[in-house]
Amino acid sequence: MIIPEIKSGQPTLTGGIKKGIFVTADGNNLFVTFALVTSLFLLWGFCNGMIDILNKHFQDSLHINKEQSGLVQFANYLGYFLMAIPAGLIARKFGYKGGILFGLALIAAGAFWFIPATNIGQYWAFLLGLFVIAAGMTCLETIINVAMAAVCMGGGTLGLYAMFGSFFFMSVMYPTIFALGIQGLGDYTKLGASLIVMSIVVGAIAAPFMGHIADTHSMRIGFVVPLVCFVLIAIYGLAWEKLEAKDNVD
């Protein structure tokens, strides 16, 4: 009988099948699970991208100024702040799968609330729906670009492309910061994740401030607010290697 040779460096499963990056040691293929979880970030990006569309729509429909429309982001980020700790507790009690399902249910509830909100026709009704959606996204995010900003200030077609480019880089930026932030926390992972999500509440302050600058000067000048934020993020990224080395020493 000829025994097939197994070359080193090519791990195999029983039966000679090569083990892929989504296959565990016991042979379970987690590709579908990975695809479903990562798609939640796509959902998060889609919901946040719609906020700016709603912002402009509310200005035209409800006849509010840019500073008042900043309450759209305020309601959104307030949901992150108030729901972050409860989301961590839900994940601890019901597990990651239970937390994800609860978050998706909140997002669905907030989205369906927009139907009666259109009949009410009041600004607070729409803000309530955005708050509920943000609370749901907080559950998902707990579990699972120098509004480029400088180019946006230049306006024109290039500024428009830069704005969409900033959304693209933000989609990569947040999960990266999140993963690095909870690295090595052990039993405190869920608590650390909740605190990171809570920090997003700064957007509730920055958005009305940006709207005030836009009303006083112009929207292009208003982009100086996210520009400052992205500068701080860039500094964090550049200093990460030293911060990690210091953490390992401590």
Euclidean distance between CA atoms 169 and 178, whole angstroms? 14
Q: Quick one: pLDDT at residue 245?
A: 73
pTM beyond 0.75: no
pLDDT in tens, 12-32: 444 444 456 777 777 778 788
DSSP string, 51-93: HHHHHHHHHHHS---HHHHTHHHHHHHHHHHHHHHHHHHHHHH
Q: What is the mean pLDDT of residues 58-75?
A: 80
pLDDT in tens, 114-145: 899 988 888 888 889 888 988 888 777 666 54
Q: What is the mean pLDDT of residues 62-82?
A: 79
pLDDT in tens, 170-195: 666 777 777 777 777 777 877 888 88
Euclidean distance between CA atoms 180 and 189, whole angstroms? 11
Q: Please name each of the domains of the chain with its CATH number.
A: 40-249 (1.20.1250)
Question: Is the pLDDT confidence value at 203 over 90?
Answer: no
Lowest mean pLDDT among 9-13, 230-234, 242-246: 9-13
Mean model confidence pLDDT for the chain: 74
Question: What is the CB neighbour count within 10 angstroms for residue 171?
Answer: 16
- Of the chain, the end-to-end C-alpha distance in Å amounts to 58
Euclidean distance between CA atoms 124 and 168, whole angstroms? 30
